[in-house]
Each structure stands twice: as C-alpha cells, then as structure tokens.
Amino acid sequence: MHIIDSHFHWWPRSVFDKLCKRKEFPRARVNDKGGYHYARRQGSGCHLNSWAEWFDLDKQFEYMASMGHDIDVVCSIGPFSVAFSDMPLSEGRDYALMWNEEMAGAQKKYPGRLWASAAVPLQDTRAAIEVVDDAVNRLGLMGVNLPGSVGEDARIDSERLEPFYAHCEKLGLPLFLHPTDVIFQDILDGYDGALHLTLGRVVEVSVAAMRLIFSGLMERHPNLKIVMSHTGGALPYQAGRMDKNSKAAKLPRPVTDYMRRMYTDTVSPHSAGIKFAIDYYGIDHVMYGTDYPCWDPAPCLKLIEEIPLSAADKQKLFYDNARRILNLKDPTPAKQPKREPALV
C-alpha cells in the first residue's frame, strides 16, 4: 500500500549545534543518546530530550521501508516549534530561516517522498508573515507549524496575530497545531516527565484549539485549515461539554461546528481512540500519522488494522486525505535543455 505519514519528525542537527553555543536560555547540550537535551529556562524540568533517530533521514526512511509499504512523509516540528517564539525576535527569525532552509534541502533530496512545513517566530506578526512568505514562495514548503503557545504567552488567539491567520488562510496553508512544553510544564512537572507527557500535551493542544474557536478566528476565517495533532487532544471526547458550556463565548454557531472543520491524525496508542476520532471528525478529516520517532509505526499500523474500515476508507485514511488536505504536489520535473537540431 502507498502511505503518507502526516505526522513525522526529522530535526536538522545544524540548528541544535547552534543552540549548544548559546549562553542564555533557551539552549541545548549534547546528551548521551546521540541527540540533545533542550532547556527553555533555568531550573525548569526538561521534557524535551531527543535521540539519534531524530536526526538521520536515511535511517528513518530505511526503517519505514521495513514496514512493507511505500511510505512518504510530512515533516512537522512538534513541541520544539515554540522555540522560535521563545527567543529575542532577531534570533527567533534567524533560527526559523535556518530551520526552513534545512527543510527545503530535505525536500530537494527526497522529491515526492518528503514534504516539510515551516517554522515561524510568532512574537512579531509582521516577521511571522515575512517568514511564511519566504518559506512558501522561495523555499516551496507546504505548511506552517503552529505551537500551542507563543513563548510564555498562552494566547495564540491574540488580536495582534489576526493578520497572520488571515494570510495563512489566503495562501491556503495547513497550520499544524502541536502542543509545546511551556504552559502546563510547571504544574505537571515531576515523575521524570511522565505526567506532562501523558496529560500535559493533550490538555495544551485542546486549550489552544478552543482559543482559536472561542476567539472567533474560525468564524472570521472559514477557510483556515487547522490540523490538530494526536486525534484532536481531548476535544472530540468532550464535544457535548464544549457545546453545553460555551454560551458565554457568544458564537453564532455551536462550538462543535468549528471543531468538525478541523483535521486530525491517528496518533493515539489506542484503537478505540483512533476509531472515535474517525467517527467524530468523519473519515474525510482524518489522516494516518505516527509521530515517528516518538512512536513506532509498526504498532500504529496494527491498531488501525483492528478498526473495521472499507478499502475505500483505508485509501482515504492512508493516502488520499493527506494529498487533498495538505495540498501535496508532485515535484516538478527538471526542464531538459534545448538541443540543437542535427545537421542534415
């Protein structure tokens, strides 16, 4: 089967090597797993440790091939996407441009097999729009990463960011909404990160999505394309509560109308959770994703096999939806040089 993994992570070492040279926070240091220990601030619990597998695309594709399928991937940043908004603007912008250049290089190396999305510094709206334009128009990236918060600010629905969302809507870009390690990190600290990893990220992505809805952004921008990670966080399972208790937001339509306009993936180590996401959002709004290398694609595929799906729905889930929702284009063939006619 031809598969597109819509939730895949590859990180360029060059960015983290540069972070290792920073004296101030956020900064990184090499760990003993072949990756990096990333710290946002002094004294905070560290929940963002990477290992060697994050940084080697050739080995990642080699492992994907061992699944017995023809697998293409869509690169998103994941929880690190907030780092570009955590720094002073000039640095955040430079790091975002550096990241996007690396992503564009990976697309060129693996044409038609890898598509990548852009990092963006959200602490300044004009800079965010400029970086998006550069990523899309110059580098050919296919989407934008939207962290669950803007640095220490939980408000990704801030009024100042409205032009940014309007611009992404105009360009038809998918916004990959992924939780970070910022807003709920302290209250869910301890247990060597277990409480935050199991619950914190689910809560954050749910809160972030609801901010986009309650603020009216989804109403004012009906073509805004939000891709929620991790089967939509907690939202599908609390949909009734969202409608029941949201009257104070004074939206013209029920909250669930906006929720169902969003898209999501199959990243849930629980077949019942994956099935509920498909039932709630509809098969046309769900894409296969693994969160690799955070999660192993092998059990992911096995869990989906436990869900009764028709051949047509499997084709949508594993391939067609990603092509349509993310507007994935085949690479343009290189133009052949004109040849002079042979002499007669």
Rounded average pLDDT over 298-305: 96
Compute the distance between CA of residue 296 and CA of residue 198 in angstroms, rounded to an integer: 17
Higher pLDDT, 103 or 201: 103
Per-domain residue ranges for the chain? 2-325
Rounded average pLDDT over 231-253: 94
- Could you say which architecture CATH assigns to the domain 2-325? Alpha-Beta Barrel (3.20)
151 falls in which pLDDT band (50, 70, 90)?
confident
**Are 47 and 197 spatial neighbours (Cβ–Cβ below 8 Å)?**
yes
pLDDT value for 341: 55
pLDDT value for 148: 92
Rounded average pLDDT over 67-94: 96
Compute the distance between CA of residue 118 and CA of residue 13 in angstroms, rounded to an integer: 16
Contacts of residue 6, defined as CB under 8 A and 6 or more positions apart, other chains included, come to: 74, 227, 265, 287, 288, 289, 322, 326
CA distances from 75 to 9, 14, 165, 292 (A): 5, 17, 21, 10
**DSSP designation for 325:** H
**Are 259 and 297 spatial neighbours (Cβ–Cβ below 8 Å)?**
no
In whole angstroms, how large is the CA radius of gyration of the chain?
20
Compute the distance between CA of residue 78 and CA of residue 181 in angstroms, rounded to an integer: 10
**Are 98 and 15 spatial neighbours (Cβ–Cβ below 8 Å)?**
yes
pLDDT value for 207: 93
What's the whole-number average pLDDT of the chain? 93
